[in-house]
Structure 1
């Protein structure tokens, strides 16, 4: 235990309001909607899967033919007489020989259709047949060996499309079942929109949400929910009727059978069954303010751009969405909302235009959206974008746009190492109160261990402490289906029958449950000084040149020691990884000085989209820095720092490498500072900071409804810290009660899992002290919330 310091809270000196600070972000990646939060158990229910979604997909993905006894049938997918023009494919079962029954079966998601003993499941289907109208159609949930877990019967009594419903009660528990649909007779049976939902959904809503996942989200008590993304907002065709269109909210409301299937840019199909109405409704159910994000007619992934003169319908979509959310039942879109079952407005306060956008075309278009929305709805807070990185040219372009347009908020995104978060815990200390507010719309450290959660908690105290500048923040991504992983880390993991919150989840929960309403000043004194996480030496190590999937040539290579003037020259280097998609690295040698510059000329001769890689501070493949020029989709110039295989983007700017063009590259390393230039133009200037670990990270607030003083304290160090807690101007007399919520006692590498879902979770204890000054020991590696009341 270190020497005792003091944490002093001025309990009557109320500061900036905390408002809607901590919330959540929902994006349909990692099968977060279909196969996840959306409770539908049938995969490919409308036979609309297509190679445009994923190269392995086809109209019968997740389906198989069923032929029992001597039964024989032909299973095809047709489109001659569709259910509706937006859902044109359907299954046709041509009964060749009825035997003991023929039909089809659906494998569901993950290990199959989950059934739980005693639970009720609601089956529905659109069907028609051309003969044998009195012949029953048997619907069952079955094990792989054919054992029936529950069944029901319908009769398809029409040659026209008709919706049929029935309930199934499970007689046993099994997480690997199939949904089977079997009939006898003659002719053809046609099926579309085959659906199976648990009868018990969150709030018992039809077309509802999976109760366990939704309950975990509700259990966070978020102030807001941002949706529907993420990159899927703007990645796609400009035509709303295209299968691979951008996410257009009007396609996601109304009868689910009328909603068009959509290519999800995370390489799967999106039914849109969980659409804007359901998302607004879920926000209302859990007390979270909705924050919808809309495209601005620009796809930075594929350079699709709506001409300025054709932006009208896109701006109209934004205005119509506000009317859908807030308009009275007499308005066009308010009436549609009321007809869907919600006559009262949803109370929309925020709207975002664009998602982590880069490039001039977006910011040119943003102005038109901003102006139109403010003219008609000045009460709505508009969120601008600052790209996917924490610093650099596009980040600054976004902030300039926000200041020029007087945006209410700026959406910042970054995924970094835990060490980066610790090094930047004071990132927002210098931000101004009269600037647009920060919306930290996506952030996470790389991992779901306890160490990641600790680093994020330390960083979150800085978010809260700077509530004058930071208005909103949400960890991302939110959900991950363990068998369909596009991205990790994630806040909540699940499969087809269970879900758990990570250590990161419980940190977020502590901050949301105990946010408070206004900041209180809190000051530390008497603690030891901050100490570097590791020795703060200059960036030294091997210099190397590389490429990834391209053919490149490096020439005129020289390394200059700026302190001594010593120059090392190297022969030309040619690397050819065209089409291989793998890194190739050529080591030049060590750079041992404190201030040195690498000069070279680089030319790309062909191959994949990526350009050049200059590695420095190289220790091994998991620990180094690099300058990537012509990075992701040949768009970026990025300085990366890698620690234990996890990367941080220190700064980014746009840059495209042209084949056959020579570029003069200059990379200067001075101490831990980095400067990078292309053809004499400065592209990057940054610092790879070594974290200075404070004895404690802390913040304080007051909750107006209860009068509680809330103190949050994070101890990242290996030893506990004893603090004298002093509550200045405490209004009461006599004893104080301290309700302590604590995460502690875990190794940094520990994590929750399906086997141990609550291995890491907060514990609560109640303490009583004689007065408003008392000693409290904060354990090593801990997150502590103290709720103090008289």
Structure 2
């Protein structure tokens, strides 16, 4: 090894902030993360409750079809006049016209079909009744699409009243595209509801359990906590808990699964709630993660549904009852209910979140009522406030102001940005104060699942760890994605109906969770080369005016050089643009117009703008190199409620700042954009709306942190090398006890192209490699490969 380029000094006796519960996971039922994913149920639409309110293409027989064999004839219909229970009223009726070799129904499951494996057993159950003779058995089979039987059993439906019937089916062939069939003979009608098929082999063997391979991958992360159940599904819905499209109400998710109401998932599918709050708490306990439930705060920012202040009582009671459900003893109402469900011991809830990505004054006005009530009854409960889905801006600051005023324990920050943004902002929390509410980075990810994304996130996580005085909790999001039902990407873990793999991002998270440590140690980097960065040139280049899903008119455009006073006036120039559906269908759509190219480094662009049609508004692009590299000011944005300054790097967007703003039709707005170097300010009708900086990455020679594991006495060192070349360093430990030799467990991610990804075909392409070694004395030399993540665990002295 050549001479070291620098030195890392770890001061093993100089301890800093406690790392606490820093790194955990976040579960939200999107991308079919629960039904068709972690929740092991294999039957899709098991209670015939699919409905167009879930998705326009859904109906009560989605994923079901009629089966008629050997001349059999039957009528299949859905009824609700004599339901099994009032919460799930629909059921299937199979009326036998001619028995033949059997008639009935078949379910095709999720993805390509129901996956079964040779030698495995599956628990079948359903509720059924008959209105005629009980002599004919009901045949339950797992079959291929061609009708080859892989396993079967029979049950006798012997009542005209709803009863539950169960059986175990052993499978003699592996088939990942099978189906479940229910057939019978005789005469009359067979009534069927709540059809279920679970593998007996679930995670820890639990009934109504979790898919073993996915749950095991989550358990192997060893997360400190799990945030659940979302996400936008927490607050996106009606105010009535009995509505199918209600906000997520935890009391609907406990008790017998057949009595849990079907729910419209806001990601446009049906949510059975089979994976409910009891199961969430149980899973957290099973994997050693602290539960962090998130509850709605009486405000739906998506549809502006607002609970009146004087009607907040039941919503606050839901929060208080949840804490009692988790922590109450058997003498309490909800503690007793928990015990009846099978868990007499408390779950030990320490955190509770109110609201998710909230924006708007109505939420923050209501938050204080929740906060005061919870603290009054449970003063040690740690309450999490919200700061919206943006990294900066008006709503972000409103959330932090609310947290300071109320004394919130943590503030939930969310952002999804380019890898370059994460590298440019790895020191984001350096200036945060230890005596203020702590940061809960409840959702974050860079756009992509490549090795480069994982490296950028690792560098950023070093910054999170080094700022444990201010950052209390952090979890990557989203966590799970069914490859056949993608609502959002990137995601930490990908799966189909029979396979699962962790991304490169997953293995970075795993390294940081396994080697978090309990308290920071002081670490110094010296003698390294200066940071490497893109030349921080001022923002200039092409300027374009545009629109999104609307018709707009720009006029009175001018650009002024703020240094020289030179002015370019586009006299008589107007841009009439339209991107409405009507214009697109007519072939007259024009989304943008080129204005000019400027090399000025300090300028103001101003204009008048008016929207004449459409739901959104104005888009002003500047500093344009091409479509994939530019900055833009979007006024109205999603749901016509945002003004945002964003940066696009290599096709990946980062919102730099956001404020609330709504555009109205046929109203003229005076817009001004001031660009000075990389500083950006924008004004609407003379009022400052945004003041931000588009920071460029400054790649550090290395990103490093150190901590101590109190349980084992290990000294932990993490190093990320983002550079294209290897970095050599002397790793020196101050104040280590005298010893002969020391053993080091070394874990390294390296040797991959920045574009590499894990996949179903190569699930282990990017995984850490462990290489252990020993050293004498108090230091050793090490080469950190280009583009690498390295973790050292320096063990107790070798005896």
> TM-score range, shorter-chain basis?
over 0.9
Tell me the equivalent position of 1:404. Answer: 405
- Aligned match of 1:322: 323
- 1:233 offset after TM fit, Å? 0.3
Secondary structure at 1:41 match in 2? coil
Name the CA distance, whole Å, in 1 between partners of 2:737 and 2:4. Answer: 30
Structure 1 Cα separation of the partners of residues 719 and 200 of structure 2: 43
Q: How big is each residue's C-alpha offset from its partner over 1:194-228, in whole Å with a ceiling of 9 and x where there is no partner?
A: 00000010010000000000000000000000000
For each residue in 1:242-288, what CA deviation from the matched residue of structure 2 results, as whole angstroms up to 9, or x when unmatched? Answer: 01000000000000000000000000000000000000000000000
2:335 corresponding residue in structure 1 = 334
User: Taking structure 2 as the reference length, what is the TM-score of the superposition?
Assistant: 0.98
Range 574-583 or range 660-669, more displaced: 574-583
1:768 corresponding residue in structure 2: 774
Residue matched to 1:730: 736
Following TM superposition, by how much is the alpha carbon of 1:174 offset from its aligned partner in structure 2, in angstroms?
0.6
1:558 alignment partner in structure 2: 558
Cα distance, 1:583 vs structure 2: 7.4
1:309 aligns to what SS in structure 2? helix
Distance 2:270 2:428 in 1: 39
Q: Which residue among 636, 657, 662 is the counterpart of 2:642?
A: 636
Match of 2:715 in 1: 709
Conserved? CA contact 1:544–1:614, under 8 Å: yes
Indicate the residue corresponding to 1:294 in structure 2: 295
Q: How many residues are aligned here?
A: 788
Please state how far the C-alpha of 1:132 moved relative to its aligned partner: 3.0
Q: CA deviation at 1:578?
A: 2.1
For the 8 Å contact 2:73–2:96, the answer to whether it is kept is: yes
2:106 alignment partner, SS class: strand
Secondary structure of the equivalent of 2:413? strand
The match for 1:546 is 546
SS in structure 2 at match of 1:16: strand
Per-residue CA deviation, residues 142-178 of structure 1 (Å, 9 max, x unaligned), is: 1011001111111111111000000111100010000
CA apart distance, 1:540: 1.5
Match of 1:179 in 2: 180
SS of corresponding position for 1:12: strand
* Residue 78 of structure 1: aligned partner: 79
Contact 2:716 2:793 in 1 (8 A): yes
Shift, 1:736, TM fit? 1.5
Alignment correspondent of 1:243: 244
Deviation for aligned residue 1:729: 0.4
Query: Is the 8 Å Cα contact of residues 673 and 688 (structure 1) preserved in structure 2?
Result: yes
Alignment of 1:427-466 (within 5 A): 427-466=428-467
How far apart, in 2, do the equivalents of 1:282 and 1:123 lie? 23
Do the aligned residues in 2 keep the contact of 1:548 with 1:583 (CA within 8 Å)? Answer: no
Counterparts of 1:206-217 in structure 2, within 5 Å, are 206-217=207-218
Which residue pairs with 1:675 in the alignment? 681
- Are 2:424 and 2:696, in contact at CA under 8 Å, matched by a contact in 1? yes
Cα deviation for residue 733 of structure 1 reads 1.7
Aligned counterparts, 1:689-700, within 5 A: 689-700=695-706
Aligned to 1:615: 621
Task: Give, in whole Å, the separation in 2 of the partners of 1:545 and 1:3.
Answer: 52
How many Å separate the matches in 1 of 2:181 and 2:84?
21
| C-alpha deviation, 1:564, in angstroms | 2.2
Change (3 A) 1:583 1:354: farther
The structural deviation recorded for 1:577 is 1.9
In the alignment, the residues of structure 2 paired with residue 583 and residue 531 of structure 1 have an alpha-carbon distance, to the nearest angstrom, of 41
Distance in 2 between the 1:177 and 1:296 partners? Answer: 43
For the residue of structure 2 that corresponds to 1:521, the secondary structure is strand
Matched, 1:535 2:541: no
Q: Contact conserved, 2:578 with 2:590, CA < 8 A, in 1?
A: no
Gapped runs of 5+ residues in structure 2? none
Contact 1:96 1:186 in 2 (8 A): yes
Q: Which moved more, 1:626-635 or 1:591-600?
A: 591-600
List per-residue Cα deviations over 1:40-89 (Å, max 9, x = no partner).
Answer: 00000000000000000000001111111211111111000001000000
Q: Which residue of 2 aligns with 1:280?
A: 281
Structure 2 contact 702–719 (Cα < 8 Å) conserved = yes
**What residue in structure 1 maps to residue 576 of structure 2?**
574
Q: Is the 8 A contact 1:393 1:652 kept in 2?
A: yes
Preserved contact between residue 554 and residue 602 of structure 1 (Cα < 8 Å): yes
Query: For the Cα contact (< 8 Å) 1:2–1:720, is it kept in 2?
Result: no
* Separation (CA, whole Å) in 2 of partners of 1:602 and 1:25: 42
Q: CA, structure 1 residues 686+2, in 2 after alignment: closer, same or farther (shift >3 Å)?
A: farther
Structure 1 regions of 5+ residues with no counterpart? none
For 2:756, which of 718, 732, 750 is the aligned residue?
A: 750
d(CA) in 2 for partners of 1:96 and 1:623? Answer: 66
Partner of 1:161: 162
Range moving further from structure 2, 124-133 or 500-509: 124-133
- Which residue of structure 2 aligns with residue 64 of structure 1? 65
SS in structure 1 opposite 2:317? Answer: helix
TM-score with structure 1 setting the length: 0.99
Residue in structure 2 matched with residue 478 of structure 1 by the alignment: 479
2:4–2:730: 8 Å Cα contact kept in structure 1? no
Q: Which of 585, 588, 593 does residue 592 from structure 2 map onto? A: 585
2:299 and 2:475 map into 1 onto residues whose CA distance is 25
- Asked if structure 2 preserves the Cα contact closer than 8 Å seen for 1:549 and 1:583, the reply is no
Task: Tell whether the 8 Å contact from 1:611 to 1:634 is kept in structure 2 after alignment.
Answer: yes
What do residues 327-374 of structure 1 show as CA deviations (whole Å, max 9, x unaligned)?
001100000000000000000000000001000000000000000000
Deviation for aligned residue 1:12 = 1.0
- What is the root-mean-square deviation of aligned Cα atoms in Å? 1.0
